[in-house]
Chain A
Amino acid sequence: MMKPSFASLIGGLILLITAFLFSHTFDEAYQTSLLTAGRGPVFYPRIVLGAMGLFSVIVIAEGFAEETDAITGRGVLIALVAVALTGAYIFSIEQAGFVIPTLFFTFLLPFVLGYRNVPIVLVISVTYTFAVWYVFEKLFLIILPSSPWFEVI
């Protein structure tokens, strides 16, 4: 018995999601809709989902023949921290505006990625945050989210 590779697992996950979405296309909400030339809102998605199902089965099958990729534990851990940090950053932009979370994020991410020269990170974090803010807000006139605590940032 061969061990499934990571690709097989992902293929399996996609197959499950596809199956769920396909069953969702039989939801009542889509049946009552105004039909046009006999083809309703789920006509095309069903074709696409059918293709997704077919291809994910092939991917799963192929995956059994593949070597299981060596993902080192440490690498995954660092990536997870980077993902969590980015997620927290994006979430906090909505709550605390652009500038404050960006200061923290640009200070922390280089450490996660393995760069540990504190003075340089600090300088870059501050100048880069304000430079981006200035360019968007003042030159491009694209208003970035602002914090509830200050007038400007």
Chain B
Amino acid sequence: MKFIRSSIVALAAAAGLASTALAAEFPAKPVTIIVPFSAGGGTDITTRTLAGPMAEALGVEIVVKNTAGAGGTIGAAETARSKPNGYTIGMMPVGPMTTQPHLRELPYNPESFDYICQAYSAPSSLVVRKDSPFNSLQDMLEHAKANPGTLNYGVQAVGSIPHVAGLGLAAASGAEFTFIPYKGSAPTFKAMLDGSVDMFVAHISFLTKNSDQVKSLAMLTSERVSTAQDLPTATDQGVPMHFPIWGGLVAPKGIPAEAKAALEAACEAGMNSEAFSSRMADLRMPLAFMGSADFEAFVNAEFSKNDKLLTAAGLKK
């Protein structure tokens, strides 16, 4: 316990110094980042990796708080309704920001937030088992069209981007799949290894980590991914698709401009830090910083794009 305590004392001391030196300015006390998923998941680990270098840039401690539940909407709602002073912000991924609000009534929408930065954007990939007979998207689609409804498509969560991507693929190619929802990515992966499902859509980092056991049929991006030039995209193979799995820092609407600027700068510095960028490189994730204004425009565009997709798929309520 000693090393934990001593490092916390050091952090607290640093925080104390910073707050006395710049008493009036932001930040004067620790910043809390709400992660809307439980500890240990991809969003959580990315946030924690970023929190260290970001705290260094800000000069105060950053506390990561996991408020999980209901597909990330509980944490998003908590972020939206916390005090707009810049001390409580949230790491909000694509799902709770742009798909969940279309699926049911929520106490927030993209208008409820101020945007700080995009922190990551992982290209997604349609993956199959390494020993699968399919080697390209076309192989799989031909089989699917010849045997409608026989291929099982694993879904990590209903209405999530991987699900939406599958619905998009079915619509664009005219193939039929049986969608089988699991609870999260680990059970979905397990279901593919045990033969229950034939394919699912995953993060590029998943593909990197499990390259022994899975292969990519197609990256679901409009262009080849800078960190995975060797992998053909769906667009290359005649089915134009673009489904990045992204997330970024947002604050409740109406935070002071100086707080927003400080957080945006700290986010950029944190993302460019060695600790963060080397970890992203290990996972073959391209660095995807986007500043406040760009990120806000991007989220709004994604929001209406996913609205159309979910409506077309009949999932929208």
Inter-chain contacts of A141 with B (CB < 8 A): 8, 63
In terms of DSSP, what is the predominant structure of the interface of chain B?
A: mixed
Q: Which of A34, A36, A139, A141 has the most CB of B within 10 A?
A: A141
Say yes or no: is B22 at the interface (Cβ < 8 Å to chain A): no
B315 touches A139 (CB 8 A): no
Q: Is the CB of A151 within 8 A of B29?
A: yes
A36: chain B residues within 8 A (beta carbon): 181
Q: Does B257 have its Cβ within 8 Å of any Cβ on chain A?
A: no
Say which residue of B5, B8, B65 sits within 8 Å of A143 (CB atoms): B65
A34/B63 in contact, CB under 8 A: no
The residues of A that contact B1 with a CB separation of less than 8 Å are 139
Determine whether the beta carbon of A143 is less than 8 Å from that of B32: yes
Contact check, A138 vs B32: say whether CB atoms are below 8 A apart. Answer: no
Give the chain A neighbours of B12 by CB distance below 8 A: 138
- Looking across the interface, which residue of chain A has its beta carbon closest to that of B313? A34
Report the contact-size class of chain B (Cβ under 8 Å from the partner): 10 to 19
Contact B63 A139 (CB under 8 A): no
Q: Which residues of A contact B8 (CB under 8 A)?
A: 138-139, 141
Which residue of A has the minimal Cβ distance to B83?
Answer: A148
Contacts of B314 in A (CB 8 A): 34
Contact string, A113-153, partner B, CB cutoff 8 A, digits 1/0? Answer: 00000000000000000000000001101010000000100
B289 to chain A, nearest CB (A): 27
Closest chain-B Cβ to A4's Cβ sits at a distance in Å of 40
Q: Find the A residue at minimum CB distance from B88.
A: A143
Q: Are B29 and A139 interface neighbours, CB within 8 A?
A: no
Query: In the complex, A139→B181 CA distance in Å?
Result: 39
Interface residue? B4 (CB, 8 A): yes
A contact residues around B29 at 8 Å (CB): 151
Which residues from B are CB-within-8-Å of A138? 8, 12
Expressed in whole angstroms, the Cα–Cα distance for A34 and B104 within the complex equals: 14
Q: Are B32 and A34 in contact (CB under 8 A)?
A: no
Instruction: Give every chain B residue within 8 A of A34 (Cβ-Cβ).
Output: 314-315
12 more contacts with CB within 8 A, not counting A138-B12, A139-B1, A151-B29, are A34-B314, A34-B315, A36-B181, A138-B8, A139-B4, A139-B5, A139-B8, A141-B8, A141-B63, A143-B32, A143-B63, A143-B65
15 A-B contact pairs sorted by A residue (CB < 8 Å): A34-B314, A34-B315, A36-B181, A138-B8, A138-B12, A139-B1, A139-B4, A139-B5, A139-B8, A141-B8, A141-B63, A143-B32, A143-B63, A143-B65, A151-B29
**Which of B's residues lie within 8 Å of A, judged by CB?**
1, 4-5, 8, 12, 29, 32, 63, 65, 181, 314-315
